[in-house]
Amino acid sequence: MSRVVRVAAGQLGPIQREHSRAEVVARLIELMRQAAAEGCRLIVYPELALTTFFPRWWVDDIRDADRWYETEMPNADTQPLYDEARTLGIGFCLGYALRELDSEGRTAHRWNVMTLVDTDGTEVATFKKVHIPGHAANEPDRPFQHAERYYFEPSPDGFGVWDAFGGRVGMMICNDRRWPESYREMGLQGVELILCGYNTPLHYVPDPSQDRLQGFHNALVMQAGAYQNGTFVVGVAKGGVEEGVDSLAESQIIGPSGEVLAKAVTNGDELIWADCDLDWCRQYTGTLFDMDYYRRPEVYRHLTTRRGPRTLA
Ligand code: CDT
């Protein structure tokens, strides 16, 4: 049986502070309709796809940021997206901020998540971001903050894979794509299709010499991760100038060969898609990258015993 799944990346242009979720959901639905018209079975949206990238701002009382988080999914604002997906028979993967409540209705956790929904409207899984970049304290001298470590807890769950869309699907969120461990954790579970949303400012405040390389690094990590693990990778941006901060677009779909199969050409709302033949993965994971045959976990002891060179085992 053919395992070709037509997958779309629904890149978004900027979402400004004053844009309501209803306005954003209308944009998501427009992209979803385009994807369905092209025969896609799945559309992937960016990280934090319902709001502006609010970690660029500092608030002394984190509760003042509560409005940027969802407390349930679906909710009144996103139900139209779920309804449209079910009508069209298309699955989707949506990034958003989740404020998990305890039984008393108090905030228990703040997560940066992506939820994968199947073509029949049922949730496959919700993945929590593992690698949380940036800083946890206010840095007022910066032109803008990247205070994700204030707004989000790192996932304690790591990287899972799920059987969906005729294959084995994993998720990662933005900074996760820069870490080889993310791909490998999923690769060791037989992943065939990795879905990744991102928000990447073009200006990297700690080292501006990297600014001109943002597009190169984005492609470098996703192409290497795809090839070395014999998997498709769907990277989806929120690009353009959002609240004065310019962000990388360049959404792309990469095959297990490491080749880019489709790539966005604008930094606004744009749909790209590719036919992902999941059987192609075996040509890599069954030969050069037959991990069961060639890997040497017995000599990789530093990988799980150290965080970095200074964290001695
Ligand atoms: N959203 C996100 O994870 N962005 C990071 C920016 C790193 S700079 C603090 C990224 O890896 O693209």
The catalytically annotated residue of 93, 128, 129, 281 is 129
Mutate to test the pocket of ligand 1, among 114, 199, 222, 250 (most ligand atoms within 8 A of CB): 199
Instruction: Please report the pLDDT score of residue 313 as a whole number.
Output: 59
Cβ–ligand 1 distance for 178 under 6 Å, the answer yes
CA 140 to ligand 1 center in whole angstroms: 19
Nearest-CA residue for ligand 1 atom 9 is: 134
CA 121 to ligand 1 center in whole angstroms: 30
Cα separation, 128 vs 259, in Å, equals 27
Where would I find the beta strands (DSSP E) of the chain? 4-11, 42-44, 91-101, 107-117, 123-128, 161-164, 167-173, 193-198, 232-237, 240-242, 245-247, 252-254, 260-263, 270-277
Q: Do 225 and 180 form a contact (C-beta atoms < 8 A)?
A: yes
Q: What is the mean pLDDT of the chain?
A: 98
CA 9 to ligand 1 center in whole angstroms: 19
Cβ–ligand 1 distance for 231 under 6 Å, the answer no
C-alpha angle 124-79-238 in degrees, rounded to nearest 5? 75
Instruction: Please report the pLDDT score of residue 311 as a whole number.
Output: 82
Instruction: Please report the pLDDT score of residue 189 as a whole number.
Output: 98
- Residues of the chain predicted below pLDDT 70: 312-313
Q: Which atom from ligand 1 is nearest to the alpha carbon of 200? A: 12
- pLDDT tens-digit series, residues 201-235: 999 999 999 999 999 999 999 999 999 999 999 99
Cβ–ligand 1 distance for 204 under 6 Å, the answer yes
Instruction: Please report the pLDDT score of residue 133 as a whole number.
Output: 98
Number of helices (H), then strands (E), in the chain: 8, 14
CA 248 to ligand 1 center in whole angstroms: 10
The catalytically annotated residue of 47, 70, 185, 250 is 47
Calculate the dihedral angle through the C-alpha atoms of 34, 26, 174, 11, rounding to the nearest 10 degrees.
30
Cα separation, 28 vs 19, in Å, equals 13
Mutate to test the pocket of ligand 1, among 15, 142, 175, 251 (most ligand atoms within 8 A of CB): 175
C-alpha angle 123-124-130 in degrees, rounded to nearest 5? 110
128 is catalytic: no
Q: Which atom from ligand 1 is nearest to the alpha carbon of 175? A: 11
Tokens representing 176? 């996760």
Nearest-CA residue for ligand 1 atom 6 is: 200
Instruction: Please report the pLDDT score of residue 106 as a whole number.
Output: 98
Cα separation, 137 vs 250, in Å, equals 30
Q: How many CB atoms lie within 10 A of CB 63?
A: 9
pTM beyond 0.95: the answer is yes
Cα separation, 256 vs 242, in Å, equals 32
Nearest-CA residue for ligand 1 atom 11 is: 175
47 is catalytic: yes
Instruction: Please report the pLDDT score of residue 1 as a whole number.
Output: 81
